Amino acid sequence: MKVKLLNATPLKIAIKAIRRCYDSCSDNLGEKDLKLLKSIIKNGHTSTIEHIVFTFDIKGISRAALQELARHRIASLSVESTRYTLKKLKNIDIREFKYEDYLVQTNNPVVDRYSRASLDHTISCLKEHSIKNDLAKYSLPESYKTSLIWTINARSLRNFLELRSSSKALWELRGLSIKIIDSLPKEYLILFEDIIKGDE
């Protein structure tokens, strides 16, 4: 799995929104502004941080993880089309084929074996039976890799990180939450430091 931050709204936009609510003056992201931002988050008045929006490029997550990611509905997803990208399986060179290029490995030998068998069936549908992509995709395993561009505001990202960094979350989304935090520039961590500390 790879995560890259493509874009982030400057923090000063959230400060401007917060200061507008209180009709007060900014100190240009100085000590007073940062203290106010921490106070807003601590007190749960986080509507003002919705003005900060992040866009991530996420590659190599499973279709199973994508389903769970889609449950975070206050976000925008542009996902690689399975229907239109199955041609890479149809045109595959078996001599260079590696399952790990196409499937997320769970490290459970039984699950991974069945996932590989399912992918073999999909390739057979495409190559040997000439089944169209929009039908052949129904035979794909949930571990099949996909990629997407994901845009989410800071308030919703806090909710995502609170839920998906939990030990009860799907292991793949726990990994995604770590990579998202790691992709953020240092100045944005103030928005999530209580979550990060709580997860240590």
Whether 71 and 95 share a structural domain: no
pLDDT, tens only, 144-177: 999 999 999 999 999 999 999 888 999 999 999 9
Report how many domains make up the chain: 2
Mark whether 48 and 139 lie in a shared domain: no
Residue 198: what pLDDT? 53
* Same domain (yes/no): 130, 104: yes
Alpha-carbon span 147 to 4, nearest angstrom = 12
Pair of tokens at residue 123: 């390739």
Whether 67 and 101 map to the same domain: the answer is no
**Residues 106, 49 share a domain:** no
Q: Are residues 137 and 169 in the same domain?
A: no
Q: Are residues 74 and 100 in the same domain?
A: no
pTM for the predicted model, two decimal places: 0.92
83-to-90, 130, 166 alpha-carbon distances in Å = 12, 14, 33
H runs (alpha helix) in the chain: 11-22, 31-42, 63-69, 82-85, 87-90, 109-127, 133-136, 154-164, 171-183, 193-199
Q: Which of 19, 155, 158, 164 is catalytic?
A: 164
- Judgement on whether residues 25 and 63 belong to the same structural domain of the protein: yes
Q: Give the C-alpha separation, 200 to 198, whole Å.
A: 6
Question: What percent of the chain clears pLDDT 90, i.e. is strictly above it?
Answer: 74
CATH code assigned at 72 = 3.30.1360.170
Whole-number pLDDT of residue 26: 80
Residue with tokens 């995709």: 137
Domain boundaries, position 117: 82-144
Note whether 32 and 21 are same-domain residues: yes
Shared domain check, 165 and 183? yes
Q: What is the pLDDT of residue 170?
A: 92
Active site residue 158: no
Say if residue 8 is in the same domain as residue 97.
no
Q: What is the pLDDT of residues 61-105, one digit of tens each?
A: 999 999 999 988 899 999 999 888 888 888 888 788 999 999 999
